[in-house]
Structure 1
Amino acid sequence: MLRFDPFHDIDTVARQLLGEAAGTARAPRFMPMDLFKAGDHYVLNADLPGVDPGTIDVSVDNGTLTLRAQRTVPSEEGVQWVASERFAGTFMRQLSLGDNVEPDKISATYNNGVLSVTLPIVERAKPRRITISGASQEPKTIEASRQSSK
């Protein structure tokens, strides 16, 4: 039985234009993430479901944080795909770090498909209260006096 697929040629051309070779896994487009401040550090959570933890690389170079991971596709021999929406290949995301992050103390964990990166804030960038001396004293009033010259 021969099936006619009018979109097969269009899909082939689109794959070639997007840099995909015919028959290879689709390339990932993005790595969704959240970034928030919690107390004295920032937390970055990146979704990487199905990624082998051994392929995850977190690095800092010249003020740039780089997250890289790889997801592989199981062998495709003898398989007729009905749907293929999960991306495979290398995921990468880069972020510029400001001067207020301590690069030597960055840590990361990977749990349940989520990469969590903790970015500590440097001591000099943490908010602090400035004490004002002499605030408890009463203000002094200075009055001008007129002197007469004789």
Structure 2
Amino acid sequence: MNDTNTHVATREQNAPATAEAQRAETITLRPATDIHETKEGVTLYIDMPGVPKDALSIDVDQNVLSVKGAINLHTPEGLEPTYMDVHSGTFERHFTLGEQLDTQSISAELDQGVLKLSIPRSEQHKPRKIEVKVA
């Protein structure tokens, strides 16, 4: 990103190899994120497939934006998985926001597994035109 001082903390874990190990362990995933910047602010698109609205948590503390979500997949009764690519777990991502962003005005929208966070710039940091007066 340009000059917004928005940083992304990286966090990764290795997935267990067997279905049994996957069922026994909750995995924290780092969701894919796209960040777009305009004169008006910053927009984040965070992939959260399968995470319902009530399992999302979005918090800001001292300019650190934390996004967490949980997915809980159930194995149908009578079936025993032998291998699992898709499993229950949590999504978690942290972003350090620059001081020019207005953390009091963040909006969030979840659409088809993609969380959209819009973070406007503070009014004093938005570009503006200065009118020239004739004396």
TM-score class, shorter: 0.7 to 0.9
* Higher fraction of strand: 2
Secondary structure in structure 2 of the residue aligned to 1:127: coil
1:95 corresponds to which residue? 95
Higher relative contact order (CA 8 A, sep 6+): 2
Name the amino acid aligned to 1:58: I
Change in 2 beyond 3 A, CA 1:47/1:74? same
Paired letter, 1:53: K
Question: Which residue is 1:56 aligned to?
Answer: 56
Matching residue of 2:67:
67
The residue number in structure 2 matching 1:80 is 80
Deviation at 1:127, TM superposition (A): 1.7
Query: C-alpha distance in 1, partners of 2:101/2:23?
Result: 43
> Percent identity, aligned pairs only?
27
Superposed CA RMSD in Å reads 2.8
Query: Take 2:25 and 2:79, find their aligned partners in 1: how far apart are those partners?
Result: 13
Q: 1:110 to 1:23 in 2, by over 3 A?
A: closer
**SS of aligned partner of 1:124:** helix
Alignment-mate amino acid for residue 93 of structure 1: R
Aligned length: 119
Q: Could you tell me how far 1:97 is from its partner in structure 2?
A: 0.7
Shift of 1:96: 0.5
Indicate conservation of the 8 Å contact 2:69/2:91, yes or no.
yes
Partner of 1:40: 40
CA drift at 1:34: 0.6
**30-39 vs 62-71, greater mean Cα deviation:** 30-39
Q: Report the AA paired with residue 36 of structure 2.
A: F
SS of 2:29's equivalent in the other structure is coil
| TM-score, normalised relative to structure 1 | 0.67
List gaps (5 residues or longer) in structure 2.
1-14
**Unaligned 5+ runs, structure 1:** 1-13, 135-150
> How much does 1:77 deviate?
5.3
Alpha carbons 2:22, 2:84 under 8 Å: kept: no
Residue by residue over 1:72-108, the C-alpha shift from the partner in whole angstroms, topping out at 9 and shown as x without a partner, is 0204653232541124212111100111111111110
Match in the other structure for 1:11: none
Over 3 Å counting, the alpha-carbon distance change for 1:28 and 1:85 in structure 2 is: farther
Match for residue 107 of structure 1?
107
